[in-house]
Structure 1
Amino acid sequence: MTAAGLDASGHALLGAALATADGDEQIFSARLSARTVPWLADHAVGGTVLVPGAAFADMAVHAARETGCDLVEELTMTAPLRSATRGDDPAGPG
Structure 2
Amino acid sequence: TGHRVFATIHARGVKETRTRLTELLGETTSLNHALQGVIYQRLMPNAEGDVQGAMAYAFVDAQQSCTWQQTLTQIYEKGWISNDTFQKEGGQIAPQSS
- Shorter-chain TM range is under 0.3
TM-score (norm 1): 0.27
Higher percent of residues as strand: 2
Higher helix share: 2
